[in-house]
Chain A
Amino acid sequence: MRPGWCLPGFQSISVGRGTRKRDEDSGTEVGEGTDEWAQSKATVRPPDQLELTDAELKEEFTRILTANNPHAPQNIVRYSFKEGTYKLIGVVNQLAVHFSQVGNLIPKDSDEGRRQHYRDELAASSQESTKVVISETEILEEEEELKETEAETEAGSQTDMPVAEVAEKVTEEELMTPKQPKERKLTNKFNFSERASQTLNNPLRDRECQMEPPPRTNFSATANQWEIYDAYVEELEKQEKTKEKEKAKTPVAKKMGKMAMRKMTSMESQSDDITKVTQAAKIVERMVNQNTYDDVAQDFKYYEDAADEYRDQEGTLLPLWKFQNDKAKRLAVTALCWNPKYNDLFAVGHGSYDFMKQSQGMLLLYSMKNPSFPEYIFSSESGIMCLDMHVDHPYLVVVGHYDGNVAIYNLKKPHSQPSFRSSAKSGKHTDPVWQVRWQKDDMDNNLNFFSVSSDGRIVSWTLLKSELVHTDVIKLKAEGSTTDGLDGLQLHTMGCGTAFDFHKEIDYMFLVGTEEGKIYKCSKSYSSKFLDTYDAHNMAVDAVSWSPYHTKVFMSCSSDWTVKIWDHTIKTPMFIYDLNSAVGDVAWAPYSSTVFAAVTTNGKTHVFDLSINKYEAICSQPVVTKKKNKITHVQFNPIHPIIIVGDDRGHVICLKLSPNLRKMPKEKKGQEVQKGPAVEIAKLDKLLNLVREVKTKT
């Protein structure tokens, strides 16, 4: 292109970026003829043409032809999650689509193509078959005609010719027929009109059906800590029950047990409502009593007599509760015993000491928690004279009766009847049983106990399976009283045993007190001879008791107004105390080896402490309400500083020992106080030695 010959401003142009169309005149296409045409006329300038200087007009602009897509962006940035930043993409897609149309051609080999082809062929073949059939029939007809003509004409060549002609026709026709299905009409895809028609719409109608709403209730529940816990516990129980059921399938006996259980539970539910309240009633009763006797309970726990400091080693007994029961009002307290396991429970035996007035007997068990009513009540036909509670089985109580029988009561069973009873057949005593004592279980683990009676026999009873079997251990013979009877027989007068006590450590040794006032030291193994005899008292021995600490010391009391303390190796007593009235009972204190208590028929209780005062009681106190009442028994509580005292009117009084009465040995600096039995023994020994020395001197 020659610069300058065209309209000013026109430069060499090319297709490129920002193609600027210069005016209507794009002269590249114009040929030579246009040059002349353009020159003959004056340059026409449109009014709005850009006015540039010559220099500017001569400026050369270079345009570069590239294959870039002018619409594509120059830089694309994408966010990279891996690096967390925007990253530049290197290559930008330069593809520019100018025209696109979705076509409706499908390849022949594809599924759809083959299907269509197949469909076409089917359609074609159906047409073809009909035509072929027609043509075949025609051919057959023609052949028949030919054959007929052959049959008619005789000339072979003539017939050949028409046959050949016919054959040709036939082939032509045959050729014709396959072509026809190929020349099918194609549907017009452009000139397409749709025709539709609408039927009459039926009017719509709503049909509804409604049920009765289901019954509804409001439900609310809480999910507390304890509810969750209970649910778990229940689940656990269910699991355990299923386990048990599996186990119980084999042994049949268990099933029977279960049936019985189920019966029991159903019975319980049928019974009256009021029985369910038993437990609660018991608790409430105790609480009510606590309130009523509130001051007493406070005293029991906390009161310490401050006046003891000023009293110069004397002590007092503070009355606490009084236990009595209407049914036992006329009966004397004949036996007292604390329960070895439950320190607030004690047993009271009621009977009568009067030979003439013998009536029924009662066994009552009281708890200190409920002073108004006994926990257990048992009644018997004959008066109870003695009782003992088993150390290992605190629910077994053995009693001895006035009629010579012994019986065992089981506290676990609430029947009023004893579990086991002796009878005349099984060797009961012929005189009242004055004392019973449980022994350790024998080699076959059978329970056994001893009893002593006025008939002079000391009997050992063993509980075999469910019967009481007796064995005479010793027959007490009154020494020096064998008289010659008829026919040279030597009659032995039997001594009458009134009390006995077993040694705490030496199992076979025990002491028996008799009505004559003698005390025999016996052994379980020797049935005829005594180990020793002590001329203890002038009247019947009411009680003998080994010291709980000192193995050699024992104590005895009698209706001859005296209490005597002995060393069993020495024939004469160590200490003698005269109490101005028949002594009913003595008891050692469980907390000190030098303290003991004695009760007399004039209603007084005496407490002695040998370490303080060897000759006198440190406390002599009348404890009964009516002066006529005679005290019959006394017992120390193993744990609490209280004693129970029973009188012959059926009352039991609980008294608290004041501090002076329970003096423990003074603690030396640096030494422990609780040295236990050893200290106690040493204490007593010291005292005894003093006495012994005196004795040996005299």
Chain B
Amino acid sequence: MELLDRLEMAEVEETLKRLQSQKRVQVIMVVNTEGIPIKSTMDNPTTTQYANLMHNFILKAWSTVREIDPQNDLTFLQIRSKKNEIMIAPDKNYFLIVIQDPTE
């Protein structure tokens, strides 16, 4: 059991490292359901700002989706802007936020 968990951990860490090394990926953040950042590749104040703003947005989107059909659920959220693209993958307990430069 513990071995599995350790393997999982290693796997996830590796995945995140790979993500970071991908082309044009700027920031990776892990935020918990209350909006508190757990892991981040950015400095603290910016991270906190992003986490706060994202948190509200995610909850709004999630609430909207479920309001329309309670059996539905949010799987992925993407915000594309001129300068970058913010991708958010919600999970049971955490949100994974990745900011990438758009390919254009």
Name A residues whose Cβ lies closer than 8 Å to a Cβ of B: 224-226, 228-230, 263-264, 267-268, 271-285, 287-289, 291-292, 294-295, 372-373, 414
Assess whether B103 is in contact with A291, with CB atoms less than 8 Å apart: yes
Contacts A278-B11, A280-B90, A288-B25 known; A273 to B98 CB distance under 8 Å?
Answer: no
Assess whether A283 is in contact with B70, with CB atoms less than 8 Å apart: no
Contacts A276-B93, A277-B30, A294-B103 known; A285 to B15 CB distance under 8 Å?
Answer: yes
Assess whether A274 is in contact with B39, with CB atoms less than 8 Å apart: yes
Q: Which residues of B in the span 5-40 have a Cβ within 8 Å of any Cβ on A?
A: 5, 7-9, 11-13, 15-16, 18-19, 22-25, 30, 38-39
Other-chain residue from A271, A275, A291 in contact with B100 (beta carbon distance below 8 A):
A291
Measured between beta carbons, the chain A residues less than 8 angstroms from B22 are: 288-289, 292, 372
Other-chain residue from B7, B24, B89 in contact with A280 (beta carbon distance below 8 A):
B89
**Can you report 7 residue pairs joining A to B where beta carbons are below 8 Å apart?**
A278-B12, A280-B90, A282-B15, A283-B89, A285-B15, A287-B87, A287-B98
Nearest B residue to A233, CB-CB:
B70
Which bracket fits the contact residues of B?
35 or more
Is the C-beta of B76 less than 8 angstroms from some C-beta in chain A? yes
Name B residues whose Cβ lies closer than 8 Å to a Cβ of A: 1-2, 5, 7-9, 11-13, 15-16, 18-19, 22-25, 30, 38-39, 63, 66-68, 70-71, 75-76, 78, 85, 87, 89-96, 98, 100, 102-103
Assess whether A280 is in contact with B94, with CB atoms less than 8 Å apart: yes
Interface on chain B toward A: helix, strand, loop, or mixed SS?
mixed
Assess whether A281 is in contact with B89, with CB atoms less than 8 Å apart: yes
Nearest A residue to B22, CB-CB:
A288
| Cβ of B63 to closest chain A Cβ, rounded Å | 7
Nearest B residue to A278, CB-CB:
B12
| Cβ of A412 to closest chain B Cβ, rounded Å | 14
Assess whether A288 is in contact with B100, with CB atoms less than 8 Å apart: yes
Assess whether B19 is in contact with A285, with CB atoms less than 8 Å apart: yes
| Cβ of A204 to closest chain B Cβ, rounded Å | 57
Nearest A residue to B104, CB-CB:
A294
Contacts A226-B66, A282-B15, A287-B76 known; A292 to B103 CB distance under 8 Å?
Answer: yes
Q: How far is the CA of A420 from the CA of B94 in the complex (A)?
A: 37
Assess whether A267 is in contact with B96, with CB atoms less than 8 Å apart: no
Q: How far is the CA of A601 from the CA of B80 in the complex (A)?
A: 45
| Cβ of B37 to closest chain A Cβ, rounded Å | 12
Assess whether B63 is in contact with A280, with CB atoms less than 8 Å apart: no
Contacts A276-B91, A288-B25, A372-B22 known; A267 to B70 CB distance under 8 Å?
Answer: no
Contacts A226-B70, A294-B103, A295-B103 known; A273 to B38 CB distance under 8 Å?
Answer: yes
